[in-house]
Structure 1
Amino acid sequence: MRILTVGAGAVGGFFGARLAAAGQDVTFLVRPARAKALRARGLRVEGQGEKLHLTPNLVTADAPGGPYDLVLLSVKATALHTALADIEPAVGPDTAVVPLLNGVAHLDALTARLGAGAVLGGVAKVVTTLSAEGDILRMAPPAVVLTGEIGARPSARVERIRAVLADAGIDSPETGDIVAAMWHKWVFISTLVALTCLMRGTVGEVNAVPGGSELGASLLAEAAAVAEAAGHPVPEAERAFTTSTVTASGSPLTPSLYRDLVAGAPTEADHVLTDLTVRARALGVSTPLLDLAALHLRVHEHRLAAARS
């Protein structure tokens, strides 16, 4: 299978490296600066028993090649529209595009640009980050990619993709409704983002003070209420997992959006939190804590925009 991984960061680089190490024909579409670094150092994945060092196949936006059988779209939401223009020449009539972004708003942008037939739903569950040298560090066990047709129908292409992922050691269980799975991941990440960004600390730091664990539970209740009103109630097992994650004492966990915030970088706040609160209002769901977190991050983005102008 010819695979184009768009982005070679913490998520796309990890899954692309796994697929390449398993013998798949993987190419990474990257920016010139990342291409230069990868050509000099290679693509390295370490941590949790991983030790991969690959010489990756690289292309840049001026010559993406293709068409490919599978495009794994793993970019930040802030780079989505640029990435869409970059990959359009690489998408043929039989290409399947699996986006690994949080939220659901990107599905509309993808189908409008590439056509509904090309686009699958996708969910990534992995805990990775980039080191100062640009290497990928795996920090926790999950390595999961969920995918499926947006209309929730069975399809042969989904089964082929799942088999390729599984052969590379990437869990890809069958998913009856991928859009619901995307909503459930959205509830998890929005809860984690709101908790850590509002309090400017790790999960463990928040839960070390009075009221910290109650805040995590309250944020989850709001996010889950939006999902339920949208027709995608969160299963009890997933709610329990999110609760245990955001109330864990001593946990060093932070999402990448939080790390962008404290680094003074642009964030995916609009895609992860603002869009959720806008949908909440349209559905008549009250989300005062999520609204506050979204406002907090909008101030950050406004400050960055003012500094650039």
Structure 2
Amino acid sequence: MKICLYGAGAVGGLIGARIAASGRTLSVVARGATLHALQRDGLGLETHDSRFFYPVHAVADPAELGPQDLVIIAVKQPALSAVAQAMGPLIGPQTKVMTAMNGVPWWFFDGLPGPLADTRLHSVDPFGTLRSLIPTKHVIGCVVHIACAATTPGISQHRMGNGLVIGDAVGPTSPATRAVGEMLRDAGFELTLSDCIQRDIWFKLWGNMTMNPVSALTGATSDRILDDALVEAFCVRIMEEAAEVGKRIGCPIAQSPAERNAVTRKLGAMKTSMLQDVEAGRALEIDALLGAVHEIAGKAGVPTPNIDALLGLVRLFARERGLG
């Protein structure tokens, strides 16, 4: 299996390092300091008591690699358009593209039956560019239940969790996707195959669409957010609205906000990925986490005043600080 990783940050670096550690050959498309680090040392994986490096074939130009069996995209939503524009040489007729990303993807309704089937989302793909460059038939959705951070270029720090959920964007699980699942199991992940990956995407989004933007606005870790009764109540109202949207579109949530927040509390003083992006001066993935939910709610006829308020606040925050 020819495998290429596009995006060797926290999540991508961890997935790539695990794959390389399992003995498989891995190519990585990178640039700048990350490219130099990968060419010099390989992908680094750090845990609480160890740090190991695994050799990879790192390049700046995807054309050097040619068509792959699997391309793993592990970038954040603001960077996706540029990646899609560049990755054409990696995609052949049988290539699978696994999107290990947060939030609602451009293909979300392509394989989701219900009242909004085949709806196109302007918030995450305003001109249809992603759809044309990465056709949905190639896509494997991936939900990441792992906490990690990029400490230095080329090194991913694993903090907790080991779960990946994958599933085809459209149709039943294909043999190619099952093969990807076996490869990821061999790499040490707790792998779940999903017959409706959109439901898994919505469930994770429901849990992190509050902590991420509220932490970005306040600079607070998740425990401090939940310790403030008024802020926690605001987050609960947002989750209730998102759950209602999910019910309307065929992605029901079985958990209560209180149950989910209890799980979040167990993570302790967690610094969300969006707060890490604020501190690093990186663009924030607002559209995939909140903008798409706002758009979907409008199409589904669900009032979402609290989601709208949070979207407006974090969007303004990002604009004022040049993080949009």
Same fold (TM over 0.5): yes
Aligned to 2:237: 218
Gaps of 5+ in 2: 108-124
- Please state how far the C-alpha of 1:133 moved relative to its aligned partner: 5.7
Among 174, 196, 202, the alignment partner of 1:155 is: 174
Among 220, 223, 237, the alignment partner of 1:201 is: 220
**SS of aligned partner of 2:157:** strand
**SS of aligned partner of 2:33:** helix
- Please state how far the C-alpha of 1:196 moved relative to its aligned partner: 2.2
**SS of aligned partner of 1:216:** helix
Contact 1:75 1:101 in 2 (8 A): yes
CA–CA distance in 2 between the matches of 1:264 and 1:16? 25
- Please state how far the C-alpha of 1:79 moved relative to its aligned partner: 0.9
Residue pairs, 1:1-309, within 5 angstroms:
1-48=1-48, 51-61=51-61, 63-107=63-107, 110-132=130-152, 134-140=154-160, 142-236=161-255, 242-246=260-264, 248=265, 251-305=268-322
**SS of aligned partner of 2:320:** helix
Contact 2:34 2:153 in 1 (8 A): no
* TM-score of the two chains, using structure 2 as the length reference: 0.85
CA–CA distance in 1 between the matches of 2:140 and 2:64? 21
Please provide the CA RMSD for this pair: 2.4
Aligned to 2:110: none
CA–CA distance in 1 between the matches of 2:243 and 2:218? 20
- Please state how far the C-alpha of 1:250 moved relative to its aligned partner: 8.3
CA–CA distance in 2 between the matches of 1:149 and 1:90? 19
The 3 A distance-change label for structure 1 pair 241 and 2 is farther
Higher RCO, 1 vs 2 (CA within 8 Å, ≥6 residues apart): 2
- Please state how far the C-alpha of 1:66 moved relative to its aligned partner: 2.3
Bigger Cα displacement from structure 2, 87-96 vs 188-197? 188-197
The 3 A distance-change label for structure 1 pair 72 and 241 is farther
CA deviations on 1:112-168 (whole Å, 9 max, x unpaired) are 21323212222122110011465211111x222222222241311111111110011
Task: Give the count of matched residue pairs.
Answer: 304
CA deviations on 1:44-78 (whole Å, 9 max, x unpaired) are 11115664212321011363412111111111111
Identical residues among aligned pairs (%): 26
CA deviations on 1:173-194 (whole Å, 9 max, x unpaired) are 1212112211222212213224
